[in-house]
Structure 1
């Protein structure tokens, strides 16, 4: 048997090409310090791949991820709300004798959370430290859901 007879086992360039039919957009978010109660890593970093039919969520640290993949047709509602970190709330309480410092600490420690409720009742969330970034992501994700399912889920 010659080496040319074994060519059928080697993939050609066209066979090994990546299928680009599954278009996706990558988003990266990060929370402010104090979002997690930990000694070393106190923030959460999200990398979201918004595909045509689902949203894949990768987090750092990995324990912060509740649902790695969320399908668009399973989403019942999305809601953006403001949350505060424990770290900045404690600093605001410690400096409550002043007037301006607690307000600054609460402003610096605010995060915006996109809470996604599935049809089964389960909830997952994605947080970002910037309000405009989270609102833009929510509207873009809602547009993908409208395109896929035909109805809006943004509350």
Structure 2
């Protein structure tokens, strides 16, 4: 009786440990990559990089890139982690932004009477300023070096 139990145990042991084939080596990703993705020293070595001049090209500049108001607001380089406003007066909100960004703001009477509600998280001062302008249907223009005029949009 002891031998039959031992024989069954040996059979199970051989099946569990040695009865299955060895696992094959995984396929190396480099062996299946297409030829064009192979390492190219000229592509990765900056000292041997090639300069190819572009001819007959036109640079298309965006309107935001040239907007002097955005240039002034970008200089502030401040981020607002959380900004939540509910029925806040636009004139007070924009004056607060001007104080943070260290620029001057002139707000027309029609623009100052408006209210704004918004919730922003981790935005730049520029994005927050533009969001308030957009939600209150206002526009801004640069009057002098660091003076921004805010007025209702003209349609």
- TM-score > 0.5, shorter chain as reference: no
Q: TM-score, normalised by structure 2?
A: 0.24
Bigger strand fraction: 1
- Bigger share in helix: 2
What TM-score does the superposition give when structure 1 sets the normalisation length?
Answer: 0.24
- Tell me which structure has the larger Cα radius of gyration: 2
